[in-house]
Structure 1
């Protein structure tokens, strides 16, 4: 399925070339999105161009996105005040709501500095790519200077992005991969995160036994990138790997895990979490009366941390809430509004790791198995502002803000 996805994305990408130029030479400036594939020579060459200080976060980047030159190299930043806009593919869960809450808080701070005109313009496409494209076009007509796009589909919006770019709007895609090369992308290193949690599981299991990978929604590049990173580690370690597909839905995950346990009576050494899996997997093992294996986390859910404290079983995960993703996207936009030029179209950063050595820095006793929140990065940001110094050049100092992540409620 992964190979078929990669072919489909290449065929449907449309804007494979540099914005406004679809010549073969321009297309070659960007690597191809190749989910589930090994690195090509072009991928390896592109990776070596990334500054050493950020290179770990770019490991396996081709699994979820394309890497090449800054598509806004000739863009002239408008003078303040600016109109900020927020296009969300879907707002129907607490993770997405957190992201919008943080965005509104940042805009309020910038408004107080005299840098914003009007209120934050927000749209929700309810997972409809055509509707989201229309909403982005409308934002351009309303004079949006910066459009933040939360987790759009990998393909389908390139033309809308191109229309915004040509109109002078800066578009920053957050928290997902995209086949479009005419936008800025801000995301965490998904492949590297998958590698990190898988390596932990190999160590805990001693590299022996069967590991079950709890995968997300097939075809979502960001999810498949972390799966590919984990699978590579397990293969190198020689572990037997089975899969369940949980669709990032707790009820589905529990059902799939119970079904797996009913047909696989042998011991399970560990379960790798591709997102939202830890709690329902634990419940499935308990319901089946089976010994609880080592289970990783992923997105730093409050419920996962409460589950960790309940079982007393060590785990590993990351601070991957939507709010921290919004914070990093704003850092990029404000640098560009200050005239700084990014070296690449895709700016990836590492996540903070939560493990047995630091779990109490992220756990709050108010967290329960039913909590719908995420642990937040210590220090209020997943990486310091200086992380991006090697990824930008020129320009002035950007406007600053307080993330407010440490003030988000535990709910």
Structure 2
């Protein structure tokens, strides 16, 4: 059986549950025929298909064509996009929003850490504001899949049945939930995936440019170490995870271009593992180390490893703007470089995208990437707060509350509908 391509019309409020049940029946039949997988077309966006997810791979002709088709103002941010996501046409091109108020729902792959809790706190705050403005109704419906893809797919389908108009999905698995996204799309529910790459092409994706961020932090380190024969160490994340591989690819390309020698440790985004791996590396490499690149949560345990080994601390980058990193920066006095990359700003950007679409604007592509606000020696005092400690689990937020100005998205959307505004409240997030 061929993949179903006909979109169902946007249902009127009050009829969505019945329509969702009809759609679910269609999905059962289609699944039995092997349909409804993510679109696996390998042509560039301009031909009406999607690029392929190629984590850790080289740029293809289709990737280059898709990149060239993007507005010039955003191309740097989309560089290396194929490591983390796919780019193609807007899957909601024929979608029209119903009338306000809208029911907002939040599907999280996992809620078991402070980063995820921060994101949910911001989402609840935004929905509460939108309710007061008559844009939202019924609070925020939340689900936690506890890292179970099948459970998350079921929870998303249940949200469709319960009448959710917008489902914000925090870091779903790359694969395993595409059919649930199809259920939502065909029922007229807008799905926006946040803070992760996905192989699914039937959603809108909001994320930062991971390759570009990895490249920029590597370039800062290159400027610091200068022309050296010593080795730069890359502290990598979880192998095979698109977000980690994209950052690493950007950094590796920058180091290669600079002609620097590079070694790797694999910290798997776990501080105890990072410290152990760095100590092991130091014990077998007695020569000078030019610097260490952080692929995520590495800065503090790497610094502690150098201190424990009684070795001179080289320049060490940060990445996601951890409060613990800022506290370490202040304690050591060593210059660094990173980004304001907390979950709160990620949720903030996803809501901005959603509200543009609810106002009638149309994204030109399925994937909307933005740059992160940078933290360096010139502005660190704007991000550091006196309550930050090495044990703090928070992340720094953009000073002005948003990663990019609203005008950044103008080149990525068509239409002139005026989106509703809100205060994400990022500056008020507690430091713990």
What range is the shorter-chain TM-score in?
Answer: over 0.9
Aligned residue number for residue 346 of structure 2: 325
**Offset at residue 214 of structure 1 (A):** 0.6
Aligned residue number for residue 350 of structure 1: 371
Q: How has the CA–CA distance of structure 1 residues 135 and 310 changed in structure 2, closer, same or farther, with 3 Å as cutoff?
A: same
**Looking at CA atoms only, which structure, 1 or 2, has the larger radius of gyration?**
2
TM-score w.r.t. length of structure 1: 0.94
Contact 2:221 2:291 in 1 (8 A): yes
Q: How has the CA–CA distance of structure 1 residues 51 and 202 changed in structure 2, closer, same or farther, with 3 Å as cutoff?
A: same
Residues 1:234 and 2:234 are matched in the alignment? no
Aligned equivalents of 1:404 and 1:265: distance in 2? 47
3-state SS of the aligned residue for 1:118?
strand
Task: Point out where structure 1 has 5 or more consecutive residues left out of the alignment.
Answer: 1-11
Contact 2:36 2:179 in 1 (8 A): no
- Structure-to-structure mapping, 1:327-406, within 5 angstroms: 327-406=348-427
Aligned residue number for residue 77 of structure 1: 97
Contact 2:43 2:49 in 1 (8 A): no
Aligned equivalents of 1:351 and 1:69: distance in 2? 24
Following superposition, which runs of at least 4 residues in structure 1 exceed 3 angstroms of deviation?
A: 22-28
**Which deviations, in whole Å up to 9, do the C-alpha atoms of 1:46-72 show, x marking residues without a partner?**
111111221111111111000000000
Aligned residue number for residue 198 of structure 1: 218
**Offset at residue 207 of structure 1 (A):** 3.7
Residues 1:16 and 2:36 are matched in the alignment? no
Q: How has the CA–CA distance of structure 1 residues 137 and 207 changed in structure 2, closer, same or farther, with 3 Å as cutoff?
A: farther
Q: Alignment partner for residue 110 of structure 1, among 130, 134, 138?
A: 130
Residues 1:53 and 2:73 are matched in the alignment? yes
Contact 1:210 1:269 in 2 (8 A): yes
* Pairwise CA RMSD: 1.8
**Offset at residue 14 of structure 1 (A):** 3.0
Aligned equivalents of 2:115 and 2:428: distance in 1? 15
Q: Alignment partner for residue 221 of structure 1, among 230, 239, 242?
A: 242
Residues 1:273 and 2:294 are matched in the alignment? yes
TM-score w.r.t. length of structure 2: 0.89
Q: Bigger CA drift: 326-335 or 261-270?
A: 261-270
Q: How has the CA–CA distance of structure 1 residues 109 and 259 changed in structure 2, closer, same or farther, with 3 Å as cutoff?
A: same
**Offset at residue 395 of structure 1 (A):** 4.4
**Offset at residue 397 of structure 1 (A):** 0.4
Aligned residue number for residue 189 of structure 1: 209
**Offset at residue 378 of structure 1 (A):** 1.3
Aligned residue number for residue 20 of structure 2: none
Aligned equivalents of 2:205 and 2:141: distance in 1? 20
Contact 2:345 2:397 in 1 (8 A): yes
Aligned equivalents of 2:204 and 2:227: distance in 1? 39
3-state SS of the aligned residue for 1:119?
strand
Aligned equivalents of 1:23 and 1:216: distance in 2? 30
Aligned equivalents of 2:204 and 2:148: distance in 1? 21
Instruction: Give aligned pairs, total.
Output: 397
Residues 1:310 and 2:338 are matched in the alignment? no
**Offset at residue 28 of structure 1 (A):** 6.5
Aligned equivalents of 1:45 and 1:120: distance in 2? 39
Task: Point out where structure 2 has 5 or more consecutive residues left out of the alignment.
Answer: 1-34
- Structure-to-structure mapping, 1:76-95, within 5 angstroms: 76-95=96-115
- Structure-to-structure mapping, 1:164-175, within 5 angstroms: 164-175=184-195
